[in-house]
Amino acid sequence: MAAAKKQAKSNTSKEDLLAYYREMLLIRRFEEKAGQLYGMGLIGGFCHLYIGQEAVVVGLEAAAEEGDKRITSYRDHGHMLASGMDPKGVMAELTGREGGYSKGKGGSMHMFSTEKHFYGGHGIVGAQVPIGAGLAFSDKYRENDRVTFTYFGDGAANQGQVYETFNMAALWKLPMVFVIENNQYAMGTSSKRSTSTPDLYTRGEAFGIPGEAVDGMDVQAVKAAGEKAVAHCRDGKGPYILEMKTYRYRGHSMSDPAKYRTREEVQKVRDTRDPIENVRELLLQGKHASEDELKEIDKEIKGVVNAAADFARESPEPSLDELWTDIYA
Ligand SMILES: Cc1ncc(C[n+]2csc(CCOP(=O)(O)OP(=O)(O)O)c2C)c(N)n1
Ligand SMILES: [Mg+2]
């Protein structure tokens, strides 16, 4: 609640707050539904939920402009929804159905939408970082003023390819924002056990890349930091690092035994820092919405998510002919 009181001083408009509330709630309810479908055996393979981290993508999307690109890891459903991809197509892909973004052949970690400038979905830790530099290079080459948001985790931040990318991005002044989603864990390993310095935003210093730590549970703080970073890139000054201090509530993936942290630790974050609860408080305190109006929004979002789940379940599995499509030989 302390965080909400602090935010109450901000002058974000009622419309913007309501939009953030809706967008974060859509991700949360979608992920809860995905968790249920996984439990029912309707989603196979890996499934990494984004619950807890919603303010990061919603805040940054609010700072983005049409045509800006985004690329991320396997914890990607929130990024897809925030970029405007259709929940029906995402859910159908999770369940391996023909109506999915990859015709049911990709699953949770392999979806793309060139229309929404979303470039995946990458299962290899850190692999999206150099690819993000390639996207940013293409925009620089075309002189089109676009920016690429390249998301990766605290665990990925210890990988060599990240620093090779920092070097090239700084050398060529690529218009890209490196977004480190520091949710404090890489699978079952606390960043305290794996990471030499807690402040990942300083990791670009050797390359001359400015960085900033952001409360990744506060959507307004995320948006403000995002705007600053994007302006830096559009001014031709090269890359920028944003370290989002965030937290994931669920396990690493659906098959995580969660023995590496206590329930109390998770509950404490939920009780004191929850990004959706923070905006809810702000809406109520500012008398921008009543409890009933917020309940109505929740109902509406649940309807969207249920419709996505129904669409997925009704969509057929891909036909055998699809085995021979979309293949490079
Ligand atoms: C190159 C590579 N090494 C190991 C793995 C197994 N693995 C999958 S996710 C993960 C942890 C990454 O954590 P982090 O970057 O913090 O992202 P988060 O899952 O917290 O979003 C690991 C080690 C992998 N997929 N790819
Ligand atoms: Mg992590």
Domain 44-263 - what CATH class?
Answer: alpha beta
154 within ligand 1 shell (Cβ under 6 A): yes
Distance in Å, CA 40 to ligand 2 centroid: 27
Distance CA 13, CA 135 (A): 33
* pLDDT for the residue 328: 86
The whole-number average pLDDT for the span 117-139 is 98
Radius of gyration of the chain (CA): 19
In the chain, the percentage of residues whose pLDDT exceeds 90 is 95
Cα(310) to centroid(ligand 2), Å: 32
Q: Which ligand is nearest to the CA of 79?
A: 1
Q: pLDDT at position 23, please?
A: 98
Give the pLDDT confidence of 200-234 residue by residue, as tens digits: 999 999 999 999 999 999 999 999 999 999 999 99
Q: Is 129 in the pocket of ligand 1 (CB under 6 A)?
A: no
Percent of the chain with pLDDT over 70: 97
> Atom 7 of ligand 1 has which residue's CA nearest to it?
125
Ligand 1 atom 3: residue of nearest CA: 125
Of all protein residues, the one whose alpha carbon is nearest to atom 11 of ligand 1 is: 186
Ligand minimally distant from the alpha carbon of residue 182: 2
Measured from the Cα of 126, ligand 1's closest atom is 1
Q: Cα–chain-centroid distance for residue 39?
A: 23
C-alpha 153 – ligand 1 centre gap (Å): 8
Please give the structure tokens belonging to residue 261.
Answer: 């942290």
**Beta carbon of 243 within 6 Å of any ligand 1 atom:** no
Give me the chain's average pLDDT, please. Answer: 96
Lowest pLDDT segment from 9-13, 161-165, 287-291, 311-315: 9-13
Q: Provide mean pLDDT across the span 121-140.
A: 98
Task: For residue 143, report the distance from its CA to the centre of ligand 2, in Å.
Answer: 34
Residue 114 tokens, joined: 């060139």
pLDDT band, residue 1 (cuts 50/70/90):
very low
> Is the CB of 109 inside a 6 Å radius of any atom of ligand 1?
no
* 176 pLDDT tier (thresholds 50, 70, 90): very high
The string of pLDDT tens digits covering residues 288-318 is: 999 999 999 999 999 999 999 999 999 999 9
Q: Which pLDDT belongs to residue 6?
A: 47
Q: Would you say the CB of residue 125 lies under 6 angstroms from ligand 1? A: yes
pLDDT at residue 117 greater than cutoff 80: yes
151 CA to centre of ligand 1 in angstroms:
13
Query: Closest residue (by CA) to atom 6 of ligand 1?
Result: 125
Which pLDDT score is estimated for 225? 98
pLDDT at res. 75: 98
How confident is the model over 32-81, as pLDDT tens digits? 999 999 999 999 999 999 999 999 999 999 999 999 999 999 999 999 99
Looking at residue 10, its pLDDT comes to 53
pTM over 0.75? The answer is yes
> Would you give the distance in Å from CA 260 to the centre of its chain?
23
Q: Is the CB of 153 under 6 A from ligand 1?
A: yes
In tens, the pLDDT along 255-285 reads 898 899 999 999 999 999 999 999 999 999 9
Q: Is the distance from CB of 152 to CB of 128 less than 8 angstroms?
A: yes
Domain residues of the chain, as ranges?
44-263
3-state SS, one letter per residue, for the chain: CHHHHHHCCCCCCHHHHHHHHHHHHHHHHHHHHHHHHHHCCCCCCCCCCCCCCHHHHHHHHHHCCCCCEEECCCCCHHHHHHCCCCHHHHHHHHCCCCCCCCCCCCCCCCCCECCCCECCCCCCCCCHHHHHHHHHHHHHHHCCCCCEEEEEECCHHHCHHHHHHHHHHHHCCCCEEEEEEECCEECCEEHHHHCCCCCHHHHHHHHCCCEEEEECCCHHHHHHHHHHHHHHHHCCCCCEEEEEECCCCCCCCCCCCCCCCCHHHHHHHHHHHCHHHHHHHHHHHCCCCCHHHHHHHHHHHHHHHHHHHHHHHHCCCCCHHHHHCCCCC
pLDDT at residue number 3: 45
Say if ligand 1 is within 6 A of residue 187 CB.
yes
